[in-house]
Structure formats: structure tokens, C-alpha cells
Amino acid sequence: MHHRLITIASLLIITAFVCAAHAAQKAPGFALMSNRGEYVFKSKLTGNLIVAFWASYCKPCKKEMPVLIELEKKYGKTKNLKLVFINIDDNTNGSARDKADTMLKDLSIEHEYLLDSFQVTIMKYNPGKSVPATYLVNRKGDIVFYEVGAHPDTLDRLEKAINQLR
């Protein structure tokens, strides 16, 4: 009888861990200044979001950013999708905003972005602070896809995840 209770207890513990592992992770909140001088609160953003962390020194970010913009254009209306760029440049050796603006100008990108100069927000999402880091957050606030670092199939897998959104 004692052995049976231990087995049942072990199964319950294993089940709890498996369920927790499959539970959706909520996207952390943030309040960041935009390049337009306005505070943006994650809690005020509705719909599905691509949250993309980047830095001016990140070469893979430069390749991904135009594609992320195209995904927003392609799925913005049908999937209620908004792209949220978050720059993590710090303010040493010049202004983070100046570095970010220069990079976007070089890429001919005109898109709002948020400044995380103290890297508080990226630490919530990605404690290693690696970029690029891309998160797909559904309208319920759950992270349904993420990729940290540059991988050749990231954007294809992201688009598949976008197609599964409601």
C-alpha cells in the first residue's frame, strides 16, 4: 500500500511539472519612451504583437528588421498584428537614440521604436540580453513563439506561428 501511494504521489508531481512546462508564458509588461517622445505601455497595446529587441551594433538585426516590417504589413489587418521594435543601445559614447536613428536611416526604415537604454525590459524577456530577440505575443498576452539570436529559419518559423494566430 505504501509503495502505491508513493507511485501515485510521484505521478501527480510529474503531471504538475508537465502541465507547468506547457503553460503559456505571459509576456512581461513595460513602459518605454518611443523615438517620438511618447511613453508606450505594453498593457495598452492590443492585438497580436511581434516584440523585437535590437541594437545598432547588431548585424543580424539589420537583416531581420526589414523582413519583420514586411510581416507586419502582410498580417497587420488579417491577424491584428503590430510590430514593436525595442532598441537596447545604451547611452555610453553618445546617445542611444542617435545610434538607433542612424542605423534606421541607413536601412531606409521609418518605423516607431522604443528605447530600453537601461536594458530593464530586455532583462525581463531575455536575461542574456542577446539580440536579435524576437517574441510573438498573442492577443491574450501569451508568448507563443520566441527566438534569441540569429538563425536562418527564424523568420519562416515566425511566419508559421503568425498564421496560427486568431
Per-residue pLDDT of the chain (166 residues), as tens digits, is 544 444 444 433 443 333 334 457 999 999 999 999 999 999 999 999 999 999 999 999 999 999 999 999 999 999 999 999 999 998 777 689 999 999 999 999 999 999 999 999 999 999 999 999 999 999 999 999 999 998 999 999 999 999 999 8
b vs e for 93-119, b when ≥16 Cβ sit within 10 Å of the residue's Cβ?
Answer: eeebbebbeebbeeeeeeeebbbbbeb
Q: How far apart are CA 151 and CA 153, in angstroms?
A: 6
Instruction: Determine contact, residues 84/50, Cβ cutoff 8 Å.
Output: yes
Q: How far apart are CA 81 and CA 71, in angstroms?
A: 9
DSSP state of 78: T
Give this prediction's pTM: 0.84
pLDDT at residue 95, rounded to an integer:
87
pLDDT at residue 7, rounded to an integer:
43
**Which domains, from first to last, does the chain contain?**
25-163 (3.40.30.10)
